[in-house]
Structure 1
Amino acid sequence: MTPTLFTALNFSVIASSTTAAVPLKRSSDVVITSSPNLHCLETEAVLAASKKLLGASVAMIGDVARSTHHLGGYETAIELKGLTIREIVAAPLSEEDRAKGVTRRYLAHVSYKSHRIWDEPMRSWTEWRETSYGFFPSQVIVEEIAGNFSARANRIADFVPGIETGLALPS
């Protein structure tokens, strides 16, 4: 099967508001590696659910997503450059899933070009690292239940949008 190319979710600047909604901006390609029956409307629904979930955990400054990661009693400011959904894969369902009302499931793979963290003792940002920040989710699971798409991701609740004021960042 030849993968079908669709346009991607590429985060852009958030207008000033109290919600962390991330607007959908079409600027790069997402590879869809599922059945040829995956329609554009399904892709849009998966991207919208993924965008909503991730947007509640990051604040956008240009093409950089800013977040504060809470782990135990520690918090770390983090920036992710070029946050995007790069691939959507249709995932199989079990009989147990169907019994719970799940009619479709997709895995939306999350990627970014690089990341850096705030080094509190040095009072500066680290260099941009072209590796993943192991705690940030690498995929979003999107399921359709009763005609509605919902998204979840491991560890996403540990991230809050923006840089919290308790950290001493340069002005």
Structure 2
Amino acid sequence: MQLSAPPYEERLTAPRSWWLISLLAGVSMALIVLPLGVLPMLGGLAGGTAAAAAAASAYGSVRIRVVGGLLIAGEARIPVSALGAMEVLDAEEARAWRTHRADPRCFMLLRAYVPGALRVEITDPEDPTPYAFLSTREPERLAQALRAAKAAA
């Protein structure tokens, strides 16, 4: 008999191409300040790259965790007892639920660069949110962790 559910944690990191884009943003800043001289150009390169890299890092630092009877997705903390049916979504279904099938009241932890997703109904009668849409690279594993956490609760 399992006493507690295994923890689940996933960080939705930004794709590698975004780091190249950060470098290109720095090069663009360097070209903008080039008429001011070599030192401002080097400062523009360093500052522009650092600012773009910080933005990419912040956007890609969001985590999804299942710990202590809670689903923690970004800033949301949802008790697993308030979760209902779960639907694993492939890339095409996830795109549909992000666009024309989406309910404006739902909670979305959306990262467009992550193709898969998990849609989890929220059954709490006090909460007007009908479901949570979670972009995840491992939707089956997240659903399994949520089911195990519900069973352990």
TM more than 0.5: no
Report the TM-score when normalising by structure 1: 0.27
Larger radius of gyration: 2
Task: Flag the structure with higher helix content.
Answer: 2
Report the TM-score when normalising by structure 2: 0.29
Task: Flag the structure with higher strand content.
Answer: 1
